[in-house]
Every structure is written in C-alpha cells, then in structure tokens.
Structure 1
Amino acid sequence: MTKVELTRFRIRKGKEAKAQEWMDFLNEHHADTVATMAGEKMYVESVFKEEDPDGYTYFYWYSVQGEDGNAVEESESYIDKRHLEYWDECIDMEYKPVDMELEEDLIAPAVEKVIESDA
C-alpha cells in the first residue's frame, strides 16, 4: 500500500536564507539524496515553497512512499544527518504543520506496478 502525503511547514522568521541553503544543498547533492530514498521506501518526494504576504515562508512536502521504510532519523547517511540539522534550525515548531487531506490519488498503473514489486 502506498501513502501519499502533502504537508505544509512554516519556516522560522529569519531562517529563510538558511532554508534556501537547505534546498540548494539537497539539489547540489541530488544523486546522494536520491540514494537515501530506497531505504525509506520513498518513491517520490518534492518540496514546494510559498512566500505569503505576511512575510512567512512555507515549505510543502509532497511524498509517495511505501510501508515499513526506515526513518530518516535512523539513517547514517551524511545527507540525512545534514537534512535533520537544517530541519531543526529552519522549521518553526511553534506552527502546527498542516497535513492536507487527500481527495484523489491517481498513480499510473506502470508506476504502481514498480512500487508494488518493491514492497
């Protein structure tokens, strides 16, 4: 069974540049970042950025993942360790993350077949 999620996180005021550094780090280390996904049973992970009129920056995390993947907190990868450092510094924990409610989930049969074969 696949899990599809979209969650909105707020960036701490004053940490917008650090949050952009975070995304740049992940993009600059794309191959190593993608390599961490297998153990997590993460098939798709995308991050979107929104800057609202009140001066807050939000990251929206979209993912398609399988069950029983390894938690990022348990990873020994330098990517995941750095990712968690950025997370701790940038994500505003006083703001309750918003989990969007999934209304429709369309995954092409060929993609679903690959996901199921990995389960």
Structure 2
Amino acid sequence: MKAELTKFKVKEGKSGLVDEWIEYMRDNMDDVLLNLEGEKMYVETIFREVFMDVEYLYWYSIQSDDGSETIDDTPLDEKHLEYMEACIDQTFRPADMQAEVVMLPEHLRQLIR
C-alpha cells in the first residue's frame, strides 16, 4: 500500500480554470471512480490552498502497491491531462511529501491488498 501527498503550484490567473476542473470531476464522478478502481487507487483527495497569494493543489492518495502509475487513454483522462497542462505550473517542481506513518486499521489494509 502506498500513501502519497504531492504539492503542485497553480499557474497565475488559472484559479477559475481550476474551479472548472474540480467541477468537471464532480460532474463525472462515476467515471472518475471507475478509473480509480482500474488504477487500484482507493482514496484520492485534492486539497486547495492559497498561501501568500500563490495557489497550490495537493493530491493525497492511497493506492495498492501494484497500482498503475500511468494514465489511461479514456476521454476523462485526456480531459484531466488538458486541465493539468493548462493549470499546473511546470516551472515549480512538484513536491512529494514523505509519509512517516500511515494509520489505517488492518481490516482496511486487507481490502487494499
């Protein structure tokens, strides 16, 4: 099982497009959940922060050790990549946080394996 948290910087002036992106995921949640299941991704949460007038998105996920690291070629995935390209500042290196401890009951760990 992998627990990951990654920080991405939003391009200046793209906050409205991030709103659209989040709404797109909410509107297509059934397809999003199917994709996550195929990737053996059991939890994925996006957090949003504005710090010193700079916007960041944080991706938190819990995934099976043998989960997919690649994005499929579904229309949903293509749209997701379009939003990422348009919204995420590529000059900012995504910051992967170090998971020091994962507190998850054993019965849930068994489901994830």
Assess same fold via TM > 0.5.
Answer: yes
Aligned-partner SS, 2:73: coil
Deviation readout 1:61-85 (Å, 9 max, x if unpaired): 0000113333443x13221111111
Alignment partner, residue 109 of structure 1? 106
Aligned-partner SS, 1:61: strand
- Give ranges in structure 2 of 5+ residues lacking alignment: none
TM-score with structure 2 length normalisation? 0.92
* Residue 9 of structure 1: how far off its partner (Å): 0.3
Deviation readout 1:40-92 (Å, 9 max, x if unpaired): 11111000000112x2110000000113333443x132211111110011100
- The alignment yields a C-alpha RMSD, in angstroms, of 1.2
Which of the numbers 89, 93, 112 marks the counterpart of 2:90? 93
| Alpha-carbon separation, structure 2, partners of 1:70 and 1:40 | 5
Deviation readout 1:1-39 (Å, 9 max, x if unpaired): x11100110000011111111111101111111110122
Which of the numbers 64, 67, 90 marks the counterpart of 2:65? 67
| Alpha-carbon separation, structure 1, partners of 2:69 and 2:59 | 16
| Alpha-carbon separation, structure 2, partners of 1:94 and 1:14 | 15
Q: Letter of the aligned partner of 2:66 in structure 1?
A: D
Aligned-partner SS, 2:16: helix
Query: Does 2:68 align with 1:84?
Result: no
TM-score with structure 1 length normalisation? 0.88
| Alpha-carbon separation, structure 1, partners of 2:102 and 2:68 | 24
Aligned-partner SS, 2:56: strand
Q: Letter of the aligned partner of 1:107 in structure 2?
A: L
| Alpha-carbon separation, structure 1, partners of 2:26 and 2:69 | 21
